Amino acid sequence: MEQKQKSELTKELILNESFKLFYKNGFKTTSVDKIMKATNLTKGAFYHHYKSKQELGVEIISTKIKQRVYEGMIAPLYQEGNVLKLLETTFSDRVKSFSHYEKQHGCPMNNFINEIADEEKAYQMALKCIIEEWKSALINLLERGKSENSINNEISSKAVAIYLISAFEGVRGIRKLYNDDLVLNDYISGLSLYIKQLKA
């Protein structure tokens, strides 16, 4: 195996295992030592790729977490079809798709926001970038709905986008407190009622 390929595989291993540990145990409590134990790598291997845990954290946000949000919540908003239905199915289908583990541990992005976003500008900027892209996709879809006369022209697309993101992220956090999905079912019902109110 070429050295470059080996190096890339090592970096990918660090990213994958770090993401799992951060998601399960939190960013602050996961030390470089714990990451090295999970990867069976030396500290030298870690510091060959990353100057610090902070640098690794920013890359986790900018790659792993961004990809999850993009695939689950942003890309579906650019599909063709009825705008109101797209809005509802994107959010409700995502909620329904979560594994038991994901329900117990909440949203990785939201966990990062709550744990460290107020401590480092680098974390804040990386997380904000994801939210802004998500918000932009929602605004774009809502504006399309207005142009197609399926969405009420009087509504603020920006306000609706922020509300939808906040409600979704909020219920992801709240679900961690419960042992069943009743709160998720109530969220889906509330989402449906809210989206009906957007209709032109």
DSSP for 16-76, please give it: HHHHHHHHHH-STT--HHHHHHHHT--HHHHHHH-SSHHHHHHHHIIIIIHHHHIIIIIGG
Cβ atoms of 168 and 195 within 8 Å: the answer is no
Angstrom distances, CA of residue 180 to CA of 36, 122, 174: 35, 36, 11
pLDDT over 80 at 3, yes or no: no
Q: What is the mean pLDDT of residues 41-56?
A: 93
CATH 1.10.357.10, applies to 54-198: yes
> What are the extents of the domains in the chain?
1-50, 54-198
Q: What is the mean pLDDT of residues 79-91?
A: 97
Strand partners for 19: none
> Which among 82, 101, 90 has a CA at the least distance from the CA of 167?
90
CA 32 to chain centre: 23
CATH 1.10.10.60, applies to 1-50: yes
Summarised one tens digit per residue, pLDDT across range 51-84 is: 999 999 999 999 999 999 999 999 999 999 999 9
